[in-house]
Amino acid sequence: MPAFFLIVIALFAFYLGYKFYSKYLAEKVYALDPNFKTPAHELRDGVDFVPTHKHVLLGHHFTSVAGAAPIVGPAIAVYWGWLPALVWVVLGTIFAAGVHDMGSIVVSARNRGQNIGTLSGKVVSARASTLFLLIIFFLLTLVNAVFGVVMAILFQSNPGAVIPALIVIPIAIFIGQWAYRLGRSIIIPSIIGLLLLYGAIPVGQAYPIYVDGLAELVGLSVQTTWIILIFAYTWIASRLPVWVLLQPRDYINGQQLLVALAVIFAGVLVGWDTIAAPAINEVAPNSPHWFPYLFITIACGAISGFHSLVASGTTSKQISNETESRFIGYGGALGEGALALAAILACTAGLGAAGDWSAAYSDFGAASGGALGHFVTGTGHFLSNLGIPATLGATFAAVVVITFAGTTMDTGVRLQRYILEEIAELAGIKALAGRVNLLTTLAVLIPLALALVPGGDSSGSKGFAFGRLWTLFGTTNQLTAGLALSIIGVWVLARNRNPLAALIPLVFLLFMTTWALILNLFAFFAKGDWLLLAMDAAIFVLAAWLAVEAFTAFNRERVANKTRNAKTAEQR
Amino acid sequence: MNVAARMPQGVAGDRLGARHQLILVREQDSQHSGSGCCGRLGESHTLLGGAADFSHSRARMEAVGEVYRALAERAPGLDLVVADPRNVVWLYPAVWRAARAHGMGLGATLRSMARAGSPIAVVLDGDTLFAGRLPATEQVVESVLGRLSQRFDA
């Protein structure tokens, strides 16, 4: 089947979802009121609370949520065939992500722009705030671990990407000095920076960087050496003021995101490639079964709990009219779904046209360890449809993913610092308060340990470790989504409306997550992966805790509703 | 120098609102592009903290907030928009459209777009009045109102 048809089918489904389901949500579930005075108007201060045009806000919202994660999940999940991955991305986006992202904006806006962490304590229970912090702690640990591995794999398999990826750093530092110290315009230097970056791609190909010598010297594998170098870089990067590197790189990343999306879809349209992957793949024996693993392998791109932080952190404070949460929240979710769709196309049609799909996805270890490589190769082929040599195109795609992953790690380590400090404070541990270097070191060492779990090397004897790490990441991301959906569902129920739109994805996610966690427990035990086993067990406890909190909160509201309705009937 | 005061209030507001747009460009105090949703960092009012990391952005947000509030009061009909310069999909087409609609030449439009892409900028009807650094609030407000007054008189 031509890949173009998949685009048409998926986008048409998104259109239907927006036209009908989001309308149902807007009218029946969230009962959006055009006359409701949003926090942007009520608390209007021109700083945090600013009534903002819906198109401006959609741009802010989408660039805040889109990153590398919607690429990695689908790139692994097509192992089970393109059909399950596509169906989950489409249905997840329409029936879970849209509900979640839109609902997070609405509930936050109805609570004076409070964020989802605060709302969990207010709407669900006081304990839920602690649960939120713990889930985020595990999520960040896994985010940093998987992206460290992702970067290492890409550097190892695309040594031509090392120079372009490195050159971004001085470019961003120069832009930061230019804009923030000298107070000059940033857009032209960032466009020049992007062009320099692309100009460095052929240079990188001519002078590929290998660390084999260093690895041999220190007696480690090449991938392990890369992982350690990447985490060392992350420690340093996360100790720099954000305006030195992180913020100026935002501009380059934002432009890269748009360029990458544009060239992938243009490459599909021009090349008219067919999908080489089977609709349902006959997977190798002992592979994880798609049910339930598909639903946690693709988190971002189908539903991502972290979107609730963006939705409730900024968007809800700037939404001008409550009815626009449909356009921004639901629309933003569809945008993320489109990014996941691009990854599916690259890893099925693009990869298939460039080489042997079956060999690339021969088993789950190859599928997960090589997922990003497959995306890179597939995107390289799409670029070749546009007249750009495939090898250059592949390096371009590798650079996009590496710069995104690097930014995610930089931010993730900073965030983890705060989380560690807050958790230590809750636990009454004073020794960590204000100890930035120590906190940063802990925030780096914990995911580094996970990334170096034996078998983390895709060629390692224990296979699947990256895939397992990724699925653990997926479980924690789905738990964050579950917490947000609990808040949304309880809020809807408290208004005597039908909460099924939030309840069904909540139950579905909790079921899939806990099931996958249980399967993982057995798998890790059998393999003797004690660190992953401990991690999995801890996340399982959080999942059980969330299920109890959600059930208790729903039940409380159900009883309260009954009482209210009975009183109303009596009064009549 | 209150432009709105020099013009019939209702008319001034209505006419300004219908014809004039002021874009206040400033970065939000948070991580924006590339880290994706997994790297949500920033804002003083979240459980996740991070305000200190973005204190410089916060200072600019506060400065723009002052201008915003002053203009909201003195030119109530003006279409006030606050945008992040990293929101490239919206910002540059908006500046382009406004500049061309108000008769700016191609070169001037491109220069204005380039200047608008700063960590902080003030863009009136596609014309970037200030970029990079913001003078005192009163100076910005007077400058904007002065321009509006010229256009209104014209």
- The whole domain housing B72 covers 3-153
Q: Which of A31-40, A193-202, A468-477, B70-79 has the lowest mean pLDDT?
A: A468-477
Asked if B34 and A404 come within 8 Å (Cβ–Cβ), the reply is: yes
- Per-residue pLDDT reduced to its tens digit, A361-395: 999 888 988 898 999 999 999 999 999 999 999 99
- Tokens matching residue A566: 């009975």
Percent of all residues in chain A with a pLDDT value above 70, rounded to a whole number: 98
Q: Tokens 């020794």 sit at which residue?
A: A431
Phi, psi dihedral angles at B24 (to 5 degrees): -100, 110
User: Are the C-beta atoms of residues A190 and A173 closer than 8 Å to each other?
Assistant: no
d(CA A383, CA A389): 7
Contact A157, B89 (CB under 8 A): no
For chain B, give percent helix, strand, coil, nearest 5: 55, 15, 30
In angstroms, what CA-CA distances link B112 with A62, A116, A161, B59, B131?
25, 39, 35, 24, 9
Q: At A458, which amino acid appears?
A: S
Distance from CA of B137 to the nearest CA of A (A): 13
Q: With 90 as the cut, is the pLDDT of residue A118 above it?
A: no
B35–A contact, CB cutoff 8 A: yes
Query: Is residue A86 within 8 Å of A6, Cβ to Cβ?
Result: yes
* Predicted confidence band of residue B154 (pLDDT cuts 50, 70, 90): low
Record: contact B87-A422, CB cut-off 8 A:
no
Q: What is the mean pLDDT of residues A233-260?
A: 92
Question: Is the predicted pLDDT of residue B47 greater than 60, yes or no?
Answer: no
> For residue B12, what pLDDT is reported?
39
Measured CA to CA, the distance from residue A116 to residue A114 in angstroms comes to: 7
H helices within A495-529, ranges in order? 500-527
Residues 6 or more apart in contact with residue A12 via CB below 8 angstroms: none
| Confidence at A461, pLDDT banded by 50, 70, 90 | very low
- Alpha helices per DSSP H over A389-529: 390-426, 436-451, 465-494, 500-527
Q: Quick one: how far is CA A530 from the chain centroid?
A: 26
**Tell me: the pLDDT tens digits for A222-237?**
999 999 999 999 999 9
Whether residue B130 is predicted with pLDDT greater than 60 in this model: the reply is: yes
Q: How far is A292 from chain B (nearest CA, A)?
A: 22
Residue of A28 and A63 predicted with greater confidence: A28
Give the pLDDT confidence score for residue A457 in this predicted structure: 44
Alpha-carbon gap, residue A284 to A360, rounded angstroms: 13
Percent of chain B exceeding pLDDT 70 equals 75
Q: Chain A contact for B154, CB < 8 A?
A: no
Helix (H, G, I), strand (E, B) or coil at A299: coil
Chain A residues lying within 8 Å of B92, measured CB to CB: 187
Q: Give CA B113 to chain center in angstroms.
A: 13
Mean pLDDT of B34-40: 69
B34 with A407: Cβ contact below 8 A: yes
Q: What is the ipTM of this complex?
A: 0.87
End-to-end CA distance of chain B: 17
pLDDT value at position B43? 57
Q: Is there a contact between B43 and A314 if contact means CB atoms under 8 Å apart?
A: yes
Evaluate if residue B20 carries a pLDDT over 80: yes
Q: How many CB atoms lie within 10 A of CB B16?
A: 23
Task: State whether residue B107 sits within 8 Å of chain A by CB.
Answer: no
**Inter-residue contact A144 to A69 (CB < 8 Å):** no
**Long-range pairs for A438-442 at CB < 8 Å and ≥24 separation?**
A440/A235, A440/A238, A440/A239, A440/A413, A441/A235
**A499-508, A543-552, B53-62, range with the lowest pLDDT:** B53-62
Residue A130 in contact with partner chain B when CB distance is under 8 A: no
Q: Is A177 within 8 Å of chain B by CB?
A: no
Tell whether the torsion through CA atoms of B21, B26, B29 and B33 is positive or negative. positive
Decide: A363 and A284 in contact? Cβ < 8 Å. yes
d(CA B137, CA B118): 18
Residue B15 — pLDDT band, cuts 50, 70, 90?
A: very low
Confidence of residue A330 (pLDDT cuts 50, 70, 90): very high
Residue A422 pLDDT? 83
A567 interfacial to chain B (CB closer than 8 Å): no
- Band of residue A16 on the pLDDT scale cut at 50, 70, 90: very high
Q: What is the mean pLDDT of residues A548-569?
A: 92
Residues B153, A130: Cα–Cα separation, whole Å: 60
Q: Is residue B100 within 8 angstroms of chain A, CB to CB?
A: no
- Identify any residues that bridge with B121 across adjacent strands, giving them in sequence order: B25, B131
8-state DSSP, B17: H
| Least trusted range by pLDDT, from A34-38, A51-55, A568-572, B7-11 | B7-11
Round to whole Å and give the CA distance between A182 and A200: 26
A 36-95 near B (Cβ less than 8 A) = 44-48, 50, 52-53, 55-56, 58-60, 62-70
- Show residues of chain B in contact with A58, CB under 8 Å: 90
Find where tokens 């970037």 sit: B128
First-to-final CA distance of chain A: 62
Q: Please determine, for residue A305, whether its predicted confidence score (pLDDT) is greater than 80.
A: yes
pLDDT above 90 as % of chain A: 71
Q: Name the residue of chain B whose CA is nearest to A117's CA.
A: B47
Show residues of chain A in contact with B49, CB under 8 Å.
418, 421-422
Domain that holds residue A249: 3-571
Residue A523's contacts (CB-CB under 8 Å, 6 or more residues apart) are: A288, A468, A529
- The CA-based angle B96-B102-B108, given to 5 degrees, is 55
- Rounded Cα–Cα distance for residues A460 and A456 (Å): 7
Cα separation, B141 vs B154, whole angstroms: 20
Which residues partner with B22 through β-bridges? Answer: B80, B124
What percent of chain B stands above pLDDT 90?
A: 60
CA–CA distance, A116 with A310 (Å, rounded to integer): 9
**For testing contact with chain B, the best of A41, A56, A142, A479 (most B CBs within 10 A):** A56
Cβ(B82)–Cβ(B26) below 8 Å? yes
Q: Which residues of B touch A314 (CB under 8 A)?
A: 28, 30, 43
Q: Is the pLDDT of residue A530 over 70?
A: yes
β-partners of residue A370 are none
Residue position matching structure tokens 């990014």? A339
Number of domains chain A contains: 1
Question: Average pLDDT of chain A?
Answer: 92
Quickly list DSSP for A141-210.
Answer: HHHHHHHHHHHHHHHHH-GGGHHHHHHHHHHHHHHHIIIIIT----HHHHHHHHHHHHHHHHHHHHS---
- Please give the pLDDT value at position B2: 46
Q: Between A425 and A229, where is the model more confident?
A: A229
Helices (H), A207-245: 212-218, 222-239
Q: What is the pLDDT of residue B3?
A: 45
A283 interfacial to chain B (CB closer than 8 Å): no
More confident residue, A150 or A345: A345
* Tokens at A266, concatenated: 């243009």
Q: Grade residue B17 by pLDDT with cuts at 50, 70 and 90.
A: very low
CA B128 to chain centre: 9
Q: Which residue has the tokens 């041999």?
A: A216
Phi, psi of A416 (to 5 degrees): -65, -35
Contacts of B82 in chain A (CB under 8 A): 46, 50, 52, 318
pLDDT at A454: 63
Q: Which of B27, B32, B62 sits opposite A64 (nearest CB)?
A: B32
Residues A265-293 pLDDT 10s: 999 999 999 999 999 999 998 889 999 99
Report residue B43 as tokens: 């804002």
Would you call B51 an interface residue with chain A, using a CB distance cutoff of 8 Å?
no
- Chain B closest CA to A401's CA: distance in Å? 9
Would the pLDDT of A405 be above 80?
Answer: yes
Residues of B in contact with A70 (CB under 8 A): 36
Q: What is the per-residue DSSP string for B71-89?
A: HHHHSTTSEEEEE-TT-HH
In the numeric block, the tokens 């089977």 are attached to: A278
Answer yes or no: is pLDDT of B145 > 50.
yes
Query: Is residue A355 very low, low, confident or very high in pLDDT (cuts 50, 70, 90)?
Result: confident
pLDDT band at A417 (very low <50, low <70, confident <90, very high): confident
User: What is the overall mean pLDDT for chain B?
Assistant: 82
Q: Is the pLDDT of residue A505 over 70?
A: yes
For residue range A60-97, what is the model confidence (pLDDT) as tens digits?
A: 899 888 888 889 899 999 999 999 999 999 999 999 99
Binary contact (A243, B56; C-beta < 8 A) = yes
Asked if pLDDT for residue A434 goes beyond 60, the answer is yes
pLDDT at B46 over 50: no
Cα–Cα dist A118/A124, whole Å: 10
Residue corresponding to tokens 């590798």: A398
- State CA B8 to chain mean position distance: 25
Written as one string, the DSSP assignment of B95-127 is HHHHHHHTT--HHHHHHHHHHHSSSEEEEETTE
